[in-house]
Copies of this chain bind each other. A is one copy, B any other.
Amino acid sequence: MARPRQALLTRQRIIDAAAALIDAEGLDALSTRRLATELGVRGPSLYNHFANKDEILDAVADAITSKVDVSFFATHDWRDALRLWGRSYRQALVTHANIVPYLAQGPGRRPAALAMADAVYGGLVKAGWPPARATHIGALMRYFVAGSALGSFARGFVEDPQLYAAHYPHLSQAHRLAEHQQSVDEGAFALGLDALIAGLEQTYERVVGSLP
């Protein structure tokens, strides 16, 4: 099996397999050898499609970001657009939570991330937000979404009541958090998103609403 008639690998197959591997076992599980094995191939073959491992990771990150829906800024009020975009953004990251640290720290060179920033910024400015504020809003939404995808709050807790009751008076029910992990995270995200938009609305009225 030196050179198969039909290529065994494509960039897309590699990206998909890498994403699946990271989702299942974490960022550290992604090695070129391991990824190749998943694809029924040997390590070095990957280098026919990507120059190095970082290029693979960047491609995965870009694919995930490209799933975020930013179309709302063209069709909706900025408040609704922010809310709908925020949900779509979180959804995209939560389903690939293990890659969030890489994705959030990565450089602003990935096309999908730039397209997203462009749409958000453009939409906010068009709605009347001053450019500096629009930048801040794009950034703070990113903080909130990335943070919520990164660290499930509840995942941290352990299902052992004894561990908390003794030393942390207010956390006596904390072990229950482990049971309701997902609903706690979703509730916290929903509450935060509502609060953020309501708070920004006040700023908007003060800053933009007072103009002619």
Given B121, B157, B184, B191, which contacts A171 in the complex, CB threshold below 8 Å? B121
9-residue interface stretch from A2-10, A29-37, A45-53, A130-138? A130-138
Whether, in the assembled complex, A200 has its beta carbon less than 8 Å from a beta carbon of chain B, the answer is yes
Also in contact, A107 and B195, with CB within 8 A (given A150-B147, A170-B118, A184-B139): no
- What residues make up the interface of A, taking CB atoms closer than 8 Å to B? 100-101, 104-109, 111, 113-115, 117-119, 121-122, 125, 131-133, 135-140, 142-148, 150-151, 153-154, 156-158, 163-164, 167-171, 173-174, 177, 184-185, 187-189, 191-192, 194-200, 202-203
Contacts beyond the supplied A118-B171, A195-B195: 11 A-B pairs with Cβ under 8 Å: A101-B101, A105-B150, A107-B156, A114-B168, A118-B170, A131-B173, A137-B191, A139-B154, A147-B147, A194-B199, A194-B203
